[in-house]
Chain A
Amino acid sequence: MSGVRVLVGTRKGAFILTSDEKRIDWQVEGPHFPGWEMYHLKGSPADPQRIYASQSSGWFGQVMQRSDDGGASWQPIGNDFAYVGDPGTHQWYDGTLRPWEFTRIWHLEPSPTDADTVYAGAQDAALFRSTDAGVTWHELAGLRAGALPAGWQPGAGGLCLHTIMLDAKDPQRMFVAISAAGTFRSDDAGQTWRPKNAGLLSDGIPNPDAEVGHCVHHIARHPSRPDVLFMQKHWDVMRSDDAGESWQEISGNLPTDFGFAIDVHAHEPETLYVVPITSDSHHFVMDGRLRVYRSRTGGNDWQALTEGLPQENCYVNVLRDAMSVDTLDSCGIYFGTSGGQVYCSADSGDSWTPIVRDLPPVLSVEVQTLP
């Protein structure tokens, strides 16, 4: 019988939620690594029992964990993330230059084809790769060397590389996104990179259409159409139909186009999900109502999804890595909130139920569809 395993990273530990394909009855296991910030956990598409996890703390720094049995047990793996050569400087919040300094791993992206290969997105922004199941990590330094890092500056969360997209059919093609720098693409398996931000407009930088400096919050796509990208920017929801060469706004009738999370339906490449957040200074949903917005037209025309979600006195946020979709026949959508709820919709967003209500603030949600 098929089922799902939901990997939840929170401010104070990790939780694993499992269910069968009905997604009604759930087993909740955790906390794993209690007391630690779990920025991200993600399973390997090549071996679902292999899970990588980023564990960090303000006291003890970055630790990495790996499970080879679906999260039942864990072992610490390498945590030496050394920048190549002189790491140089980037802009600080006040415009001064500041040396690159490793803080944490925000995002893990296991290879779609090799369980021992995994990519890690760091703060301060850099891309690392391990080909030995996380024992050792090596920076793909071409990103910082060739992608105009002089124009990068930290967003409110830090100068973080938070999105990594790999393509099983084209291992040469990769995308990453950095706050606040923008989107970058490699066509040679990560050796060299170029900014891909044409069409983005950001009021918070001196030149609104600069080549770099944009606060991209998250990017998603459907695996069947690797050149079609959907972006939740600081403000604006955007789309590209040409692998990032150009972007067009698709915010349409959203009540606010600020937000963090964005994802794509597993079987409908033009069906998107976002969770609008009031504003950059009000990091909670609008009007006390938790609403997921769905577009079945690839953007511009959005429908509020509210059944089962609180519609009064709700002031939570949903972070960039805290939404995920499963690939069951009736596509499941999942998201976690700053209030510690993890919601599931087993019917493509038409209705929602909380799997758990009272976890620590949720940082990330990833779902594995199990055979």
Chain B
Amino acid sequence: MIRVVLPAHLRALAHVDGDVVLEVPQPVTQATVLDALEDRYPMLGGTIRDRDTGRRRAFVRFFACEQDLSHDSPDEPLPPAVVSGAEPYLIVGAMAGG
């Protein structure tokens, strides 16, 4: 089970409280986690990844295990602590004023 923490705006959009818990097939990567997230919550489509390119939106960041994974390949396996559910996968709105 993968735990995903959404930023407040996206929690409100998806009507969820707290962490999102997802079943994600192996291999667990950023791409497969986001695919599972968007399958469960279609309204999040386009808000995290650009619909045309599939790439991370510029002001969205991905953190886990105190590491910034934003620039990693979306197809790299996530850390074992995330895969085991011990640590969450954080989707973060970048600090950019506003």
Contact = CB atoms under 8 A, between A and B. Distances in A.
CB-based closest 9 A-B pairs? A76-B43, A60-B47, A59-B59, A59-B93, A79-B46, A61-B46, A61-B47, A80-B51, A35-B9
Main SS class of interface, B: loop
A63 B52 contact: no
B45 to A, nearest CB: 7
A33 B52 CA distance: 25
Interface residues of B, number: 21
B10 interface: yes
Contact of B48 (A35, A58, A60, A62): A60
Contacts of B96: 58-59
Contacts of B8: 35
A57 B43 CA distance: 14
A36 B59 contact: no
A28 interface: no
A76 B59 CA distance: 21
12 contacts: A33-B12, A35-B9, A59-B7, A59-B9, A59-B60, A59-B93, A60-B13, A61-B50, A79-B45, A79-B46, A80-B51, A82-B52
B51 A63 contact: no
A63 B47 contact: yes
A336 to B, nearest CB: 20
Contacts of A59: 7, 9, 57, 59-60, 93-94, 96
A301 B80 CA distance: 74
Interface residues of A, number: 15
B10 A60 contact: yes
B44 to A, nearest CB: 9
Contacts of B12: 33
B57 A60 contact: yes
Contacts of B46: 61-63, 79-80
Nearest to B57: A61
B25 interface: no
A74 B59 CA distance: 26
Nearest to B41: A76
Contacts of B10: 60
Given A62-B46, A63-B47, A57 B52 contact: no
Interface in B27-54: 43, 45-48, 50-52
A58 B60 CA distance: 10
Contacts of B52: 82, 102
Contacts of B98: 58
Interface string B1-15: 000000111101100
B1 to A, nearest CB: 25
Nearest to A58: B59
A60 B60 contact: yes
B45 A80 contact: yes
B65 to A, nearest CB: 23
A235 to B, nearest CB: 32
A275 to B, nearest CB: 27
Interface string A1-43: 0000000000000000000000000000000010110000000
A258 to B, nearest CB: 28
A333 to B, nearest CB: 32
